[in-house]
């Protein structure tokens, strides 16, 4: 059984009432992946904006009750926060493939592009220490409202994405492949988010598609995304 672990920030954990891109990915894999698989991780909840805590199990109406909600994602968490956690999470949940979307929180509140890239490298090292054959798909920081309005922040995002690409090239290897997903080409913060940052239904599909297309094209895993 192939065990996928979604890792991310608020765009990955999602908030009460959402499907999340994790759900869209699970639907895609269920329809296209030829073998048994699972979503794994130490957490299951959504973020509850009313209580300002990750305590909600209220996924969107119509979510399939069979959906495995497991993940390693947190509202306001980034590479800085996940690097110390990933080793134990991979070890405990026997993760084979990490689907990672991080960086926006780091750059917005904690670290510059160079420091964020170093934390990304520490994350990869921690994951590999737990499973030397773990595979990782990493999504760059995708368009968001702050980058549209704040030129210095946009420059840090661009710089980090450049460093992320270099780190992936440096760290990739046949034993533990590291794959850089392409940002969703048609992603529009005015159409695909509900607040300029967090994906709505169409945005969820586009984020899931970015991961799915990367795995299909590089590893022949599954099929092209057909939302």
Q: What is the pLDDT, as a whole number, of residue 226?
A: 86
Q: What is the pLDDT, as a whole number, of residue 97?
A: 98
pLDDT at 227 over 60: no
Q: Are 67 and 59 in contact (CB under 8 A)?
A: yes
Measured in whole angstroms, the distance separating CA 134 from the mean position of its chain's CA atoms is 15
Average pLDDT, the chain: 97
End-to-end alpha-carbon separation of the chain, Å? 24
- For residue range 113-125, what is the model confidence (pLDDT) as tens digits? 999 999 999 999 9
- Of 28, 11, 116, residue with least CA distance to 71: 11
- For residue range 6-62, what is the model confidence (pLDDT) as tens digits? 999 999 999 999 999 999 999 999 999 989 999 999 999 999 999 999 999 999 999
pLDDT at 75 over 60: yes
pTM above 0.95, yes or no: yes
- Of 113, 119, 172, residue with least CA distance to 7: 119
Q: What is the pLDDT, as a whole number, of residue 38?
A: 97
88-104 mean pLDDT: 98
Q: pLDDT above 70 covers what percent of the chain?
A: 100
Q: Categorize the per-residue pLDDT at 157 as very low, low, confident or very high, splitting at 50, 70 and 90.
A: very high
Q: How far apart are CA 35 and CA 18, in angstroms?
A: 27
Q: How far apart are CA 114 and CA 111, in angstroms?
A: 8
């Amino acid at each position: 059984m192939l065990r996928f672990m979604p890792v991310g920030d608020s765009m990955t954990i999602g908030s009460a009432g959402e499907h999340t891109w994790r759900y869209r990915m699970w639907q895609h894999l269920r329809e296209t992946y030829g073998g048994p698989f699972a979503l794994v991780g130490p957490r299951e909840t959504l973020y509850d904006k009313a209580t300002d805590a990750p305590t909600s199990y209220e996924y969107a109406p119509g979510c399939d009750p069979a959906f495995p909600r497991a993940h390693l994602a947190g509202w306001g968490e980034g590479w800085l926060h996940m690097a110390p956690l990933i080793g134990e999470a991979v070890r405990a949940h026997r993760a084979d493939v990490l689907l990672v979307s991080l960086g926006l929180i780091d750059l917005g509140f904690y670290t510059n592009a160079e420091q964020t890239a170093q934390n990304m490298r520490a994350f990869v090292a921690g994951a590999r220490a737990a499973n030397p054959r773990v595979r990782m798909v990493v999504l760059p920081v995708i368009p968001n409202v702050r980058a549209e309005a704040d030129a210095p922040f946009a420059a840090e995002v661009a710089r980090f994405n450049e460093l992320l690409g270099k780190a992936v090239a440096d760290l990739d290897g046949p034993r533990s492949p590291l794959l850089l997903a392409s940002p969703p080409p048609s992603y529009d913060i005015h159409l695909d988010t509900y607040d300029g940052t967090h994906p709505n239904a169409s945005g969820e599909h586009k984020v899931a598609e970015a991961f799915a297309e990367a795995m299909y094209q590089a590893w022949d895993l599954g099929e092209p995304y057909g939302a």
